[in-house]
Amino acid sequence: MDRMLYVAMSGAKETLKAQTANNHNLANASTTGFRADMAAFQTQAVSGAGFGTRAYATNSVLGFDDSSGAMQSTGRDLDIAVQGSGYIAVQGRNGREGYTRAGDLRVDPSGQLMTATGLQVMGDGGPISVPPNTSLLIGVDGTLSVVPQGQGPETRAVVGRIKLVDPPIGSLEHSGDGLFRLKDGTDAPSSATVHLGSGMLESSNVNVADAMVNMIELSRRFDLQVKAMHTAEENGASSAQLLKAN
């Protein structure tokens, strides 16, 4: 196989992978607390007999953008946003602890504190359960305090504390379920330095304009590589005709 065809084919394949990552970011441009994936191309030489005259590209997701999204005021008591670095601990659907920046919380009919996507919010001792109440407030340090049903404000009591973590960015990876987890598979310890803002949510940090421009660029790059594949095919056909003529 001509190396030109191999280079163009691999380039088109890797461009599609980059397009997938970019489209994933675009699809989550309005997802609360979303962190954009960062993908990059790398050059690799084509190995084999002959001179090293061909190189192809590989694309991989190198990590995620840890910059904060814009803070949006909602005025809702159960909406919280992490101020600065840090994450909210939740229990993933596979039972493992994961971390998120999405703070749009709710209490389900059984009294469990949940995220908007139905994940249980973790406290220092496990999933948080909230007793029946007429008022629920979340403090800056993640402390939950309630006024029991039928009681006055003077009876407000602390019922738990949301587990907040702040592991080094390099130790985190973006899992397929949208949560962040430690690369070594362990659970991050609680951090007393993470603070919350109440009555607000953090928006996605995806730059829609940049993602749209990147999508157009990747589309043009894919078309160029497909044209190169056609050129390689035409060159091969022409070479075969010349050999037959001789």
- The contacts of residue 132 (CB under 8 Å, 6+ apart) are 111, 148, 149
Q: Which residues sit opposite 62 in a β-bridge?
A: none
Examine the domain organization and report whether 48 and 140 are in the same domain. Answer: no
- The contacts of residue 164 (CB under 8 Å, 6+ apart) are 82, 86, 87, 88, 89, 141, 142, 190, 191, 194, 196
Task: Report the C-alpha gap between 125 and 114 in whole angstroms.
Answer: 16
pTM of the entire structure? 0.80
Examine the domain organization and report whether 99 and 32 are in the same domain. Answer: no
Examine the domain organization and report whether 177 and 93 are in the same domain. Answer: yes
Number of domains in the chain: 2
Examine the domain organization and report whether 36 and 99 are in the same domain. Answer: no
Show the domain range for 58: 3-66+206-245
Q: Please report, in tens digits, the pLDDT of each residue of the chain (246 residues total).
A: 566 777 788 888 888 888 988 999 999 999 999 999 887 777 777 676 666 666 767 777 778 888 999 999 998 989 999 999 999 999 999 889 999 999 999 999 999 999 999 999 999 889 999 988 888 999 999 999 998 887 878 888 899 999 999 999 889 998 888 899 999 989 999 999 999 999 999 999 999 999 999 999 999 988 988 888 888 777 777 777 777 766
Examine the domain organization and report whether 27 and 91 are in the same domain. Answer: no
- The contacts of residue 75 (CB under 8 Å, 6+ apart) are 199
Instruction: Quote the tokens at residue 70.
Output: 């814009």
Examine the domain organization and report whether 241 and 188 are in the same domain. Answer: no
Examine the domain organization and report whether 76 and 166 are in the same domain. Answer: yes
Sign of the alpha-carbon dihedral angle for 116, 173, 25, 71: positive
Give the CA distances from residue 194 to residues 97, 124, 138, 186, 234, in Å, rounded to whole numbers and listed in that order.
18, 14, 14, 20, 61
Examine the domain organization and report whether 221 and 117 are in the same domain. Answer: no
Examine the domain organization and report whether 7 and 37 are in the same domain. Answer: yes
Instruction: Quote the tokens at residue 22.
Output: 């970019």
Task: Report the C-alpha gap between 233 and 142 in whole angstroms.
Answer: 63
